[in-house]
Amino acid sequence: MSAHAEPEGSTSYLFDTGSDLGDQQMRVMPVLLDPLTLDVLDATGVGPGARCLELGAGGGSIARALAERAGPSGRVVAVDLATDYLEDIPGVEVYRHDITQGLPDPGPFDLIHARLVLLHLPQRLEVLRTLVDALAPGGWLVLGEYSGRLPYASAAPTEDELALFDRVMDIGHHVIGAGAGQSLRWAHEAPEHLLNAGLTNVHSREYSFTTVGGDTACRYIDLLVRQIAPPLLSAGLSEGQLTRFHELMLDPRFRGWFYQFVGTRGQKPSSGGASG
Ligand SMILES: C[S@@+](CC[C@H](N)C(=O)[O-])C[C@H]1O[C@@H](n2cnc3c(N)ncnc32)[C@H](O)[C@@H]1O
């Protein structure tokens, strides 16, 4: 379905989903994260007839999965700043839209899902209130976010490379990411905010796994680092260090842990009146 086009508003989102590296990132993310996300989504009972909103839909894998579950009697609305990947998904209505400017479709929705979106947005609390307002009574909000337990290295060919990995993660998240308005505390703060907004049955779960140089998770970490190369260089890393980092992410002697991913769900009471 072709996108409802709209001019992009101002956004601090650090990555560019429409770029070549962003394209590779969108292809890799579902492999890493969809199994957990679908577990959390399916626990809400989403099924035929459901009215769904997929926020920051990226490569569209979850929009597609929701359309399969909602079927022809339901609807799926997908929103992103970049919508090229979403155009041909059967049964999905696409909006190219900045969600900090409000929702392009007021709903109500039985399920709203956003993965790795609110953590990037300084306006996350305002967006959360908008999402809660757009839920139908009994509807579910599901969030997936990375926590402050960053990827870390447990083995590398040299001590210098272990330290290099930590330094890139530290600058990338605590200097560049934080400067762009990202919050790595949000993953663990979100459950309280869902409760404060009036949602019930709030439940969160954490998930992570080991990774080894050359596997999908290391290639994904490298794709993120490649997208922020200019600010990493400005922050004091050298071209040689970045080259060594790229090599390390392909080196099977590198081992570590991937991001910690937190899935959270909360439900609007059936009696309504849950927005706050
Ligand atoms: C890290 S990606 C996650 C993509 C997808 N949710 C997934 O997990 O596979 C974040 C997505 O949110 C989108 N995004 C970021 N800021 C946005 C905004 N203000 N309005 C709409 N989409 C936004 C980006 O374009 C990108 O596709």
26-41 confidence digits (pLDDT tens): 889 999 999 999 999 9
Whether the CB-CB separation of 107 and 93 falls below 8 Å is answered with: no
Whether 1 has a pLDDT exceeding 80, the answer reads: no
- Each residue's pLDDT tens digit, 242-262: 999 999 999 999 999 999 999
Instruction: List the chain domain ranges.
Output: 20-267
- Residue 22 CB–ligand 1 contact under 6 Å: no
- Each residue's pLDDT tens digit, 78-127: 999 999 889 889 999 999 999 999 999 999 999 999 999 999 999 999 99
Could you tell me which residues come within 8 angstroms of residue 126 by beta carbon, excluding any fewer than 6 positions away?
A: 100
Distance from residue 115's CA to the centre of ligand 1 (Å): 8
Please tell me the predicted confidence (pLDDT) of residue 26. Answer: 87
Question: Which residue out of 80, 94, 207, 261 has the highest number of ligand 1 atoms within 8 Å of its CB and is therefore the one to mutate?
Answer: 80
Residue in the structure block whose two tokens are 């909360």: 266
Residue in the structure block whose two tokens are 């439940």: 203
Measured between alpha carbons, how far is 53 from 134 in angstroms, rounded to an integer?
9
Please tell me the predicted confidence (pLDDT) of residue 18. Answer: 76
Whether the CB-CB separation of 60 and 94 falls below 8 Å is answered with: no
- Residue 81 CB–ligand 1 contact under 6 Å: yes
Please tell me the predicted confidence (pLDDT) of residue 276. Answer: 37
β-partners of residue 256 are 153, 211
Distance from residue 63's CA to the centre of ligand 1 (Å): 13
Q: How far is CA 254 from CA 143, 251, 272, in A?
A: 31, 6, 51
- Which ligand 1 atom is nearest residue 61's CA? 9
Please tell me the predicted confidence (pLDDT) of residue 4. Answer: 65
**For residues 62-91, average pLDDT:** 95
Give me 265's structure tokens.
């769900």
Catalogue the E-assigned strands of 147-235.
152-155, 200-207, 210-212
Whether the CB-CB separation of 261 and 206 falls below 8 Å is answered with: yes
- Residue 135 CB–ligand 1 contact under 6 Å: no
Quick one: CA dihedral 258, 150, 206, 52, positive or negative? Answer: negative
- Each residue's pLDDT tens digit, 196-237: 999 999 999 999 999 999 999 999 999 999 999 999 999 999
Distance from residue 143's CA to the centre of ligand 1 (Å): 12
- Which ligand 1 atom is nearest residue 26's CA? 9
- Residue 117 CB–ligand 1 contact under 6 Å: yes
Please tell me the predicted confidence (pLDDT) of residue 268. Answer: 98
Distance from residue 80's CA to the centre of ligand 1 (Å): 6
Query: For residue 15, what pLDDT band results from cuts at 50, 70 and 90?
Result: confident
- Residue 177 CB–ligand 1 contact under 6 Å: no
Q: In what order do the strands lie in the sheet with 135-146?
A: 92-96, 75-80, 51-55, 109-115, 135-146, 261-267, 200-207
Please tell me the predicted confidence (pLDDT) of residue 7. Answer: 39
**Torsion angles phi and psi, residue 91, rounded to 5:** 80, 10
- Each residue's pLDDT tens digit, 138-193: 999 999 999 999 999 999 999 999 999 999 999 999 999 999 999 999 999 999 99
- How crowded is residue 110: how many other Cβ atoms within 10 Å of its Cβ? 24
- Name which residue leads in pLDDT, 150 or 19: 150
Topology of domain 20-267 in CATH is Rossmann fold (3.40.50)
Residue in the structure block whose two tokens are 């969600």: 99
Comparing C-alpha atoms, which of 38, 31, 81 is closest to residue 63?
38
